[in-house]
Structure 1
Amino acid sequence: MTIPDRPLEIIWDITYACPLRCVHCYSESGRRPSRQLRRDDLLRMADAIVAMRPYGISIAGGEPLLVKELFEVTERMTAAGIQVALFTGGWTLRPEMVGDLARAFFRVSVSLDGATAEVHDRVRGRRGSFDRALRALDMLAGAGPVFGIDCVVVRSNFGQIEQVCTELVPRFPGLGFVSFGAVVPEGLASRTGFAEHELLTEEQMAAMGAPAFRERLRALVPPGVHVTATDNLALQMHPDRIREGQFFPALQIEPDGAVRAMPAYEGTVGNLLTDSPAELWRRSVERWHDPFVVATLTPVRTVREWAEATRRIDYHFASAADRERIDRRPAFAQL
């Protein structure tokens, strides 16, 4: 497999501030300093990301809508001809923002982790978050950007996937897509306890990756709604999958510009505000082939083994401050 000479996708967690407390949060947002940049540095980051010439940029977090300069930053990227997508929990979306969203983003994903308030609010860690997400989808209906539902699938909501398709999707005229992605053992989703109780079973993971499962879901939604389901194994960066070209050639950027070598793992390789994009990409690709990474991931065959490997890789490459954060992760209380 030929490795691209640059990342094909950029994921920028623009802030770690967040009103929610998701039990599976990959970035531990809302539980740590926001690390959000000031306006001038945000614009410098936008220019540096554009210079990497990715096919697409995803703005995530935390909650991106908490960044007051969000639309100014995003319009700088779209002016360069790059499509920018937004991931939001919907909690802070207000009607007056919708026009700006339509101008700044080609695609808006609203997180909805269950078909009922009981399940969604437990996963998202805040009562009322289900109703806020539905309200956000109502506001986006007919507003202009392609909008849809993004569902992180854990064991507790796996049984509601079809219900999302049959009961929630038809409620929103113009909804363009619904995406189901298996939870990745990253951040809080990699801790012991969560791995045992909320990571998907091997049978559920097999279903998420099966074409027949996606086809069944597509038959449940109105015509014109695009349905995807994935096991997210491309994020594992398993040496075998890299050799076969089944991996995600993306760069994940933390709020302050620090660049993660692999999106699903701790460990940075520099900062986009101080290091050249080409060098950061070179260091990232080098990390994929690091002997410790290869030795840790090569034996992985199950989701539980993936979670154990994640914990080892995270602790090995994390900074001292990040290790302290990992050590402070709260014990998981079963949903």
Structure 2
Amino acid sequence: MQGPAGQYPTLQVHPGRRCNLQCLHCYSDSGPAVTEQLAIDLLEQVVADAAAIGYRVMSVSGGEPLLYPGLAQLLRAAHASGLVTTVTTNGMLLDQRQLNVLEADCDLVAISLDGIPESHNFMRNSARAFDDMCARLPALRASGIPFGFIFTLTFHNVHELEWIADFAVEQGASLLQLHPLEPVGRATCRLGESYPDGEENAAAVCEAGRIRELYEGTLEVQIDLATVPAMREHPTRVFVREATLCGAQTVADVIAPLVVETSGLVSPLQYGFPRAWSWGNIKDRSLPDLAADWLARDYAAFLTLCRLVYEQAVRNDDEPVLNWYEQVYAAAAQFSPTQVRDNLMQTCSSERNSQ
């Protein structure tokens, strides 16, 4: 059975927070005036270390990755280490110079698309976002670089999925990924009423299934939501497992995505994950050292946290579809690794005393 990290465990790298836009839902609070970035020589070492401990994909995001001056070096280093590479962009800056960089060492370009033109421009906080992105698509198609679209699902836009899918196919995209809006970064103060609820999530799963059948063989459709029946059938995919590595397994087999934030912090699952669960900072120690310490210190507590979220989810018959990552994030914000370990020890002690 496929484990939680999937067939291609991914390292997400956020090399800089500078961006040409200031989107309402930006998880990293990026923007034109933000200059924070990581040194390229440090990231080259991180990429090599990630490959050495089992990661197979490097996904570059931001900020806007096309504004990071070391992007070509970063992609080249990833390919040299045997990693598949993807770049997530708003698409507005995909001129020929940038396409030349991506042609050399990028395996997939993922373009953010948040609904019909009016909805996209609203989320991107720019009246030009959609038209400028569309103007870059002919050259992207001509380059031959595989590309897809990433759609942010909110409480208000599930009905726009059909338009998104039709647009993606018309433009020659091979992938459509649906990702629910999460309460991280700028969205917490700008889009507090826009998080999708259980009904919206369920509607998105149904619509994704219909689109998948409609464009089978043409458009791959992925959705970052979990159904309770699937969780019951494959609990290891939501990290319900024992805290041990078996045989030739590496840390990448048991925890992915792994996120390198622009600050240098290494976080499990997603950008901004509660800091008590961080691996540490790549500016201080190497990625393999951080991995070894986290496995020994916090991995068992992390699995316990995931098991608690899983058990609550499978007991809740009112919400058959959920954003599992959001649920784990909320639990991690409530309980630190120390608290989880202490509660686990108290539970074990109580069980022994009752026998």
Q: What TM-score do the two structures reach when normalised by structure 2?
A: 0.72
The runs of 5 or more residues in structure 1 that have no matched partner are 318-335
Alignment of 1:1-335 (within 5 A): 8-30=9-31, 33-116=34-117, 118-166=118-166, 168-172=167-171, 174-189=172-187, 191=188, 194-195=191-192, 197-210=193-206, 213-221=207-215, 224-233=217-226, 243-247=235-239, 249-263=256-270, 265-267=273-275, 268-282=278-292, 284=294, 286=298, 289-290=301-302, 293=305, 297=309, 299=312, 310=329, 313-314=332-333
Which deviates more, 42-51 or 197-206? 42-51
- Residue 46 to residue 315, structure 1, CA distance change in 2 (3 Å): same
Shift of 1:266: 3.0
Which deviates more, 62-71 or 281-290? 281-290
* Partner-residue secondary structure (3-state), 1:187: coil
Give the alignment's Cα RMSD to 1 decimal: 3.6
- Residue 156 to residue 253, structure 1, CA distance change in 2 (3 Å): same
Shift of 1:219: 4.8
Equivalent residues of 1:88, 1:111 under 8 A apart: yes
- Residue 266 to residue 147, structure 1, CA distance change in 2 (3 Å): same
Q: Measure, in 2, the Cα distance between the counterparts of 1:41 and 1:62.
A: 18
Equivalent residues of 2:180, 2:323 under 8 A apart: no
- Residue 233 to residue 284, structure 1, CA distance change in 2 (3 Å): farther
Shift of 1:42: 3.5
**Paired letter, 1:169:** A
Equivalent residues of 1:156, 1:198 under 8 A apart: yes
- Residue 127 to residue 55, structure 1, CA distance change in 2 (3 Å): same
Q: Measure, in 1, the Cα distance between the counterparts of 2:52 and 2:284.
A: 14
Equivalent residues of 2:158, 2:203 under 8 A apart: no
- Residue 309 to residue 207, structure 1, CA distance change in 2 (3 Å): same
- Residue 205 to residue 288, structure 1, CA distance change in 2 (3 Å): farther
Equivalent residues of 1:45, 1:257 under 8 A apart: no
Comparing both structures, which one devotes a greater share of its residues to helix? 2
Equivalent residues of 2:201, 2:225 under 8 A apart: no
Computing the radius of gyration from Cα coordinates, the structure with the larger value is 2
Q: What TM-score do the two structures reach when normalised by structure 1?
A: 0.76
Shift of 1:55: 1.6
**Paired letter, 2:267:** R
Shift of 1:314: 4.2
Q: State, as a whole percentage, how many aligned pairs show the same letter.
A: 22
* Count of paired positions: 305
Deviations 1:227-281 (A, max 9, x none): 31414349xxxx9899532356221111243201342523122123432434433
Equivalent residues of 2:90, 2:133 under 8 A apart: yes
The runs of 5 or more residues in structure 2 that have no matched partner are 240-254, 337-355
Q: Measure, in 2, the Cα distance between the counterparts of 1:194 and 1:219.
A: 32
- Residue 284 to residue 184, structure 1, CA distance change in 2 (3 Å): farther
